[in-house]
Structures are given as structure tokens and as C-alpha cells.
Structure 1
Amino acid sequence: MTDNRVIRIGISIGDLNGIGIELILKTFEDKRMYELCTPVIFASDKSIAYYKKELKYNYPTHSVRELSKIEEGKLNVVNVWNDAVQIQAGVPTETSGQKAFQSLEAATNALQENIVDVLLTAPISKDNIQSADFNFPGHTEYLESKIDGDSLMILMSDDIKIGLVTGHIPVSKVSETLTKELICKKIDIMYQSLIQDFGIRRPKIAVLGLNPHCGDNGVIGNEDAELIQPILTEYQEKGQLVYGPYAADGFFGNQSYTKFDGVISMYHDQGLVGFKAISFGKGVNFTAGLEKIRVSPDHGTAFDLAGKGIANESSFKEALQQGISIAKKRFEYQELKTNPLKIKKQ
């Protein structure tokens, strides 16, 4: 990112037959969005034109054959494919999965090459996108394979930021996957992200336990007392505000999350059930820990809504705004690290 141009948002369309393109069109119908960023969609003119016609959006798009031709103030469409593709809104197909990957790959390449500053991913179908080139449980794992850094999936809203120690793995594998090294790595990523991406100088982090009631002194498992608690003690001895382990049900039920800047969850549904109960429809998925910034809405492809013009763009728009905010915070952080004595003009 540079400080002499508007932040560029690279957008992958997700599943071609899902709600991704509809969310994009609804978001950028608002002309004020172009004051915040320059959107760059990785798809094709033909596919965008199809949805514009079906959903009755008449505002113009800017066709881009070369990435050097991206223009501010316009909805740029980079032509990743030129073939005529049969679109079947609401129906996941092999073709719609292929185009989802082509869009994601092109957008990721542009992110790596600093042509765009932020990657905003519309939802994919984790089933039909699978191929020899995409053999991952989801976006997060794919991006970690392409971009420097270790990832942490953070689901965030104005109310809460919750990171996952383990992500897209079966519940039966969670306990055997948890190690001191893994838990510490995820806590460290959360801690650093809260500082550089959100401007929190001294983060306060809550860590959830693994077992019901945090094991009840070994009656329901020993991981909380023997693995998690000693880790947190070490952080506290270093002067870091990392507390727990907390039983997840009570932690969410009594709104203890409001007292912390970030929360670490041991597994996917432990964190996401609480998060979506609090923030569904306005939440954002942020991949922390990587050299580059990636955000996405907190929902899926919604094939049942696709092509009907009724999909809610709130989470997609929130992801866009959070991506812009994180990019600015990270840029400021890097500037301060480079020039620690620099006085910012008021």
C-alpha cells in the first residue's frame, strides 16, 4: 500500500452461481464507496453483465485487460476468463467451482504483487471448488500456502474479535491437534494483530477452555489444567494480559467477551456459535498473521437466495470497510516502526 492513492480492494467473486456477484453489485451501487476505495473484481465482463441484466443494475463497469489500466472511481472488472460460461444461479456446478478458483487465484496473485492492497473474498462452495489446484478446506488454508506468515482466522464485529486455534478440522481431531506450540502461536498472532491491525497498544485477551466447565478439575478432561493453564501463566509472567481458561458457555452467556480486546477459541464451533449468535449478518472473517490482508463476509454462498435479488450485502460491505480500516492501521504501524520519532500532523 502507498499513501498517494486510494486503497485498492481486490475482489474474488466466490462461487459463480452463488450470491457473490450480487453482493458486489449492491455494494458498489452506492457511489460513496468509490471515495473509500478502488474496487477491482476478478471475473469476466460477460459474467458480470449477466448478473447486471438479471438483477437490473444499470451502472457502468470498467473492463480491464491489463492490470496497469485499473482506474479510480470505477468498478474495475479484470477479465480472468473470456469464454461464455453458462450461469445457473442457485445451482452449484463443476464450472461454477472452477471459475471461483480462477477468480481467487488471479486476485491472490494481484495481492502478492501489490497491485491490490486488500483481498475481499466472496463465499466459495468448499465442495465444488476442490481440484488438483485447490485441495484445501477453505480460503484461509489456501492463502496460508500462498502468502508469507502463519494464519489465524479471526471472526470480528464491533462487539467481539474471536480467533480459532484449530479451524476446519473434525471435532474428533481437536484434542490431539492442540499443542503448546500451536496455542502459543495463535495467541501471539492475535496479540500482534490487535496491535498492528487495530491500534490497541496493550491488548487484553481471553482464552477459552477445551472441555465443558474447563474440565471440572479433571472430571471432564485434563487438557485445561495440564496444557492450557500453564501456557497462560507464562504469558502473565511476561506481563501480557492473557487470561483464562474460561468455560465457553458462561463466557458468552454473561457477556464476559465485552471486557476483552480479543478472544481465543480452541475449535471452530466453540467460537463461531457464540460469535454468530452475537454478530450474525454484520460479522467479518479476517485472516490475521499473513503478510497481506484478506477479509470476507461471515456467511456462505446462499445458493437458495442466488439470482433472486434478495441477498443481504451488510456483511460484505462491513468486510470491505474493515479491510480498508485494517490496511490504514497497518500502514500507520509500519510507518511508525520505520520512523519512530516521526510526529504526525494533527
Structure 2
Amino acid sequence: MTDHEDLFKVSLTSEEETVTKNEIYRKLRTIETNTSKERKPQNKIMLEPMSTPYIKKSHSIPLVSRSVHISCNPVDDSFWVSDHEHVCRSDKGHSLEIGKHGYGEHTVTSQGKLIYIDRDYNIIKDCTERIVLIATKEGWKPKCIYCSPLTEDLLVGMATINLAAAKVVRYLSTGEEQQSIQYDDRRQPLYTYPAYVTENRNGDIIVSDNYVVKVTDCKGGVRFTYRGPPDKGLAPRGVCTDPLLNILICDCRSHGVHMLDKDGHLLSVLLQYAENSAGPWGVSYNETDHVILVKGDANNIVAVHRYLNRARYLL
């Protein structure tokens, strides 16, 4: 019970009961106040989309060539980037071997630990100790992974060896299976080849699949399917989200990065690359600097784009 509720209870007595002024004063003296403490203003960052995004800087990553995936490190400005064979950290001079048959094959925990799929299709935690977090499941191969910053759960996109079936499985941080999403409410398959997976801040699960992006709620209920602009279609690759709940999708067909709102409406083609360029393939949101990192598939350059204005205000 709060102090105000306690005082209210004392004041509202029955008609037969009389409360003296002295009793009320004694009760008021027992209420602690913070008026003597100095209030410290707090900085709050308000984000809003810019009219024209720009490249803040670029990174050259010589250890990878045809890069397909980026994972930002939430504890600093470093990031992990991979091609179909290796993953390396932006501020380190070595790489690790990863699986050859997936795309979004690594992710980073909120503590900055790398989790990746190795060549035996095991999911490995901590690139130094190489702990097998999740062993290969018979008949299924992991294709993409994402560590939720909300729950530390691990979302894993999987497909059978013959690609006849696909699903997204949620694991606890201990490696224990918690949830499997494979069918819609009509028992029709949801996925064909989950290449990339991420999670929005409202709990929605976003999967880059064959020519579509599928979005379900945290329980696996279908929210929407994004197929690209009318008459243009979609060839989706990397996906990520931002604090405004926007969904960012690399599209190899239009050579652009599409920005959707949380309900699947196209807000803009945020970035547009030339048709003959190494168009966008991997994308990741940097939480510390509020920028996105974008990587093409045929060079070793990672571009850092600012597309959100940051305004500070006092609470």
C-alpha cells in the first residue's frame, strides 16, 4: 500500500469512528517525502526519420569478399560480418569458419558474445571457448539465427535436408527448445527457406524467405506477408528492425533497402543502389549510435548510414 493510499484509508473512517486532528498529524509525519532531494534531469533521445539518409563512414573488411550478413555488437561499435565460409570481427585480424549453406548464420548476445552456425550445423556460443549450445537435429539444418535482446532467446530458422519443410524454432539461452513455428492457422506451411530471421521490439518474428518476408507474432500467429511493391516483386535478403519498430529489408531485385512500419506498410525505399552495383545484402542496426550498417554482396565494404535524427530532451 502506498503512503497516499494509507492516508486515504485513515481519512475515510466510519461514521461511528472519530479521528482527531492530532491523529492525522501523526500520520502525516510518518509519510516520507523526497522534497529535500535534488531532482536530477534525465536525458532522453527522441528519434525520427531523416528526409535524406547519408553515409557516415565506411569500413573495409579484407577477410571477407561476397559478404552476406552483418551482426552489430550492442556493447561497442564493432560488428561481425560474414560471407558463405567465414565470419570475422571488424576490429580483429582473424576469421572463423562457418557453415556454407546458409545466410544469416551468426548473431551477437546483449553481452557481446558471438553465436554462429559451424560447418557441422551445430550452433556455437563464444568464439573463444566454442561451446556447442545446440547440436544438429536429425533431418534438420539451421540456416539462420538471431539472439533476442528482449529475452536472450535464440530464434533459429531451419530447413530439412531436401528443403521439403522449414520452420523457426525458439530456444532458451540454455539451449532448451521452447517453441516451434511451422504452420499457419490453416495448417499450411509458413516458410520455404528461412534465410534471415530477426525480432521486432513488439515481439514480432520477421523472416526473410523465398521472395517474401513473413511476419508472425510471438506466438506464431501470422501478422502479414510482404511481397514488395506491386508489379515489382521482392528478392529479400538481410532484415533488421529499429527502435521505431520499423522493419528494414535488403532487396536484391530493386537494389534497395525497403523500410516498412510494424504493420507491413511500405514507408519508403530508404536506400537505393545502382543496378550494376553490389547492391544491399546484409543489414544490421547499431543500438549505440542509431545507424544501420549495410553490406553489398560483391565487395568488402560495409557502409554506415545515418537515417534517423536524434534530438535530446529533458524529462
Q: Same fold (TM over 0.5)?
A: no
Taking structure 2 as the reference length, what is the TM-score of the superposition? 0.30
> Bigger radius of gyration, 1 or 2?
2
TM-score (norm 1): 0.28
Larger fraction in strand: 2
More helix by share: 1
